[in-house]
Amino acid sequence: MALLLLVMVGVVVGVVVASSLLLRWNEVRYGNGRRKEGGCLPPGTMGWPLFGETTEFLKQGPSFMKQRRLRYGRLFRTHILGCPTVVCMDPELNRRMLLQGEAGGLVPGYPQSMLDILGRNNIAAVHGPLHRLMRGAMLGLVRPAALRTSLLPKIDAFMRDHLGGWAGSVVDVQARTKLVSMLEQMIAERRSIGQAHNDMLDALLRSGDDGTREKLSHEQIIDLLIALIYSGYETMSTTSMMAVKYLSDHPRALEELRREHLDIRKGKSPEEAISYEDFKSMAFTRAVSRKSNTHKKLKSE
């Protein structure tokens, strides 16, 4: 009995010592003594190695920040979402940093977990000349000429082919690794064949051939396409959901939307695609989309 009690005490002491060492290791690595360009980090705690204080942050939500503000002030350090983080809750200081932007050394960023999904070269993670280069390439994909001659016919054909088969089925979403592998294979095939496909990937591969801008690397093209897929899903899925919800709440708006679409379909055969002029004439449809997007933002706030 005495031996069992001794073992239990030893286990408890061991757990306490191990926990203290782990917590101390994170503090030593990121704590007050670590200098950053001649200055010290603000007060706070870094939590456990690797995980930091992510568990508390996810459980407590906004109260996590409120509690640490009361304890450490408006500027404190923590470790959340896999990254050591300095949190600033001072409105005036935040305003100054935002106004200075890149000139003051402040650039927007994502946690490492998001970079692992979207890639280090996605348009939201790069800055300066590279951001301008990728932004120009991306905007070229959705300019009115591309929408008229390429995107709209492809969207029309895609929706016709796929919507009918979606009912009652499960749509698998592939992981980044498989998506990157698929895009790399497509790029290699197109480089070897040299045949034009008149799509976004083809436009990105040809970007810079005219000498007006630098060419994008394969890695940059892949990350840009994945960022477009991700951002398109996040915006379109929520806006579409809100449109369905609000149209069901307002039958008169739904009837007007249906009338606009039926008027466009008059005189067209079932197989005839929607033209760019048809798209431009959908004034009420665009109003519904804008209103749904506005309500979505207000709802999230």
Do 199 and 183 meet the contact criterion of CB atoms below 8 Å apart? no
Q: Which residue do the tokens 């456990």 mark?
A: 48
22 is a domain residue = no
- On the CB side of 87, CA atoms within 13 Å amount to 23
Is 82 found in the same domain as 46? Answer: yes
Is 195 found in the same domain as 84? Answer: no
Residue 216: predicted pLDDT: 83
Residue 259: predicted pLDDT: 92
CA–CA gap between residue 175 and residue 106 (Å, rounded): 31
285 is a domain residue = yes
Q: For residue 157, give the nearest of 237, 273, 282 by alpha carbon.
A: 273
Strand bridging mode 83-88 / 75-80: antiparallel
Tokens of 202: 């083809």
- Sequence-distant (6+) residues with CB within 8 A of 41 are 30, 31, 32, 34, 77, 86
Question: Does residue 204 surpass a pLDDT of 80?
Answer: yes
Is 139 found in the same domain as 283? Answer: yes
Is 145 found in the same domain as 95? Answer: no
Residue 168: predicted pLDDT: 64
As a whole number, the mean pLDDT across the chain is 78
Average pLDDT over residues 224-242: 80
Comparing 1 with 232, which gets the higher pLDDT?
Answer: 232
Residue 167: predicted pLDDT: 64
**CA 85-86-91 angle, 5° bins:** 135
CA–CA gap between residue 212 and residue 132 (Å, rounded): 13
Do 98 and 196 meet the contact criterion of CB atoms below 8 Å apart? no
Q: What percent of the chain has pLDDT over 70?
A: 78
Is 71 found in the same domain as 138? Answer: no
Average pLDDT over residues 130-149: 79
Average pLDDT over residues 22-28: 63
Residue 28: predicted pLDDT: 65
Residue 18: predicted pLDDT: 62
Question: Does residue 180 surpass a pLDDT of 80?
Answer: yes
Is 140 found in the same domain as 66? Answer: no
Residue 175: predicted pLDDT: 66
Domain hosting 80: range is 40-106
Average pLDDT over residues 168-184: 73
Is 49 found in the same domain as 142? Answer: no
235 is a domain residue = yes
CA–CA gap between residue 16 and residue 3 (Å, rounded): 20
Is 142 found in the same domain as 100? Answer: no
Query: Residue 8 phi/psi, 5° resolution?
Result: -65, -45
Full DSSP string of 215-281: PPPHHHHHHHHHHHHHHHHHHHHHHHHHHHHHHHH-HHHHHHHHHHHHHHHTT--TTPPPPHHHHHT
Is 211 found in the same domain as 85? Answer: no
Comparing 13 with 69, which gets the higher pLDDT?
Answer: 69
Is 145 found in the same domain as 80? Answer: no
276 is a domain residue = yes
Is 187 found in the same domain as 156? Answer: yes
Question: Does residue 255 surpass a pLDDT of 80?
Answer: yes
In the chain, the number of structural domains is 2
Question: Does residue 256 surpass a pLDDT of 90?
Answer: yes
Do 120 and 223 meet the contact criterion of CB atoms below 8 Å apart? yes
Full DSSP string of 51-65: TBTHHHHHHHTHHHH
pLDDT band of 258, cuts 50, 70, 90: very high
Is 149 found in the same domain as 102? Answer: no
26 is a domain residue = no
CA distance to 18, 60, 80, 96, 146, per residue, from 50 (Å): 15, 19, 9, 32, 46
Residue 13: predicted pLDDT: 63
Residue 293: predicted pLDDT: 77
Question: Does residue 187 surpass a pLDDT of 80?
Answer: yes
pTM of the model: 0.43
For residue 288, the domain's CATH number is 1.10.630.10
**pLDDT tens per residue, range 50-107:** 777 888 888 888 888 899 899 998 898 888 877 788 888 888 888 887 777 666 667 7
294 is a domain residue = yes
CA–CA gap between residue 180 and residue 83 (Å, rounded): 25
